[in-house]
Structure 1
């Protein structure tokens, strides 16, 4: 109930203020030489420009052009209220005021046209972040391999004593330069001091950058 009473009070106040402003604008226009229906058209023009500028401000979120025309219409309305309150001799209006009243229709038409046809800022949709397809997680694919068949072994039989065992192939001897052997011994000693284990041929080969055969020969001599 209180909400209804408050709304009615605001509406009544707006009607009273609009009627007084409308009357003051009519009286000022009539005093400036605009008689008949023309005097009634001036307050309608001022109020329409005021409402149009206000609606454009609400739609654009504070457009500067809308604020400018709202201020012009408000000054025209306030000026008429002050002028008709005894601040101006209504029987002898100065020429500058007659010029302002006569030029108001063109000014109001310009303001209404600019407010009606100025572009409205349309909010642009936010761009969606690009998806990096190269970094997308691919599903884990597990490929099962069939077990390889075990190699067939020859049937076991009694060992034949008359068949001598096959000789084991030995690696050919590789000549190691003394300077390289001394350098390798220093590396082996440092490795043994750090790890507590003798150096192997693979580590020795990676440290010295030598062929595998030469590394094996040095490792045998250092053992």
Structure 2
């Protein structure tokens, strides 16, 4: 599939302007004593430096280095256009023009090297301050413990009454059958000895732990 070639006015204008500027730079270099291929190399050098500086500006953003060499190449190109318009006698060029044309290769080489190998935008851009650190979370304050509520008169009446004898509550439930058997053992002991059976004797006769023997003796009292 063939694509039709459509002329672009901007592209045509760029080609014409570039060709004229190229020719002016060649004529100026030739007038300054650079003949042959050297006269054609000067416009190439100026245009390449101009393009390199412009690409540096487009890719890395504005910087003093790129702007400096862009202006140098632009002045060299505009100067050649103005000089060849009749403002200078190209048949007898001044010594300053010869000096500038002779020193241009070294200047262009320096500019191209710096644009190609210099750190990108070092010290040119405005430093961005670091984002402020997030504040530390405040410790959560626990609510004060509520004081123990004092039971009202009705609630106090509903509570079980304390044992007036001060006897400790049974540590473990005692089977009713064991209590009945303990009563028989206590009655037999009182019939033989004439004294009430104590907790140690009851524990030995029943073979139960001491706390349970104390509980049984408290129930038999």
Q: TM-score range by the shorter chain?
A: 0.5 to 0.7
Please name the residue that 2:48 is paired with: 48
Among 130, 134, 150, the alignment partner of 2:134 is 130
CA RMSD in angstroms, aligned pairs only: 3.3
Rounded Cα–Cα distance in structure 2 between residues aligned with 1:89 and 1:154: 130
Q: 1:28 to 1:126 in 2, by over 3 A?
A: same
SS in 1 for 2:27: helix
Which secondary structure state, in structure 1, belongs to the residue aligned with residue 93 of structure 2? coil
| Structure 1 ranges of 4+ moved more than 6 A | 122-125
Change (3 A) 1:84 1:119: same
d(CA) in 1 for partners of 2:140 and 2:79?
71
Aligned residues: 144
Secondary structure of the corresponding residue to residue 29 of structure 1: helix
Query: What TM-score comes out, normalization by structure 2 length?
Result: 0.55
Structure 2 gaps, min length 5: 144-155, 164-221
Query: Which 5+ residue runs of structure 1 have no aligned equivalent?
Result: 141-149, 156-223
Distance, in Å, in 2 between the alignment partners of 1:94 and 1:109 is 24
State the partner residue of 1:107.
107
User: Comparing 111-120 with 13-22, which one deviates more in the overlay?
Assistant: 111-120
**Structure 2 match to 1:76:** 76
Pair 56,137 (structure 1): closer, same or farther in 2 beyond 3 Å: farther
Look up the match of 1:18: 18
Q: Deviations over 1:109-156 (max 9, x none)?
A: 1111122222224987954733524x2769x9xxxxxxxxx953269x
Distance 1:18 1:38 in 2: 19
Question: What is the CA deviation profile of residues 201-222 of structure 1, one whole-angstrom value per residue up to 9, with x for unaligned ones?
Answer: xxxxxxxxxxxxxxxxxxxxxx
Aligned-pair CA distance for 1:18: 0.5
After TM superposition, the score normalised by the length of structure 1 is 0.55
Alignment of 1:147-162 (within 5 A): 151-153=159-161
For residues 137-195 of structure 1, the C-alpha deviation after alignment (integer angstroms, 9 at most, x for no partner) is: 69x9xxxxxxxxx953269xxxxxxxxxxxxxxxxxxxxxxxxxxxxxxxxxxxxxxxx
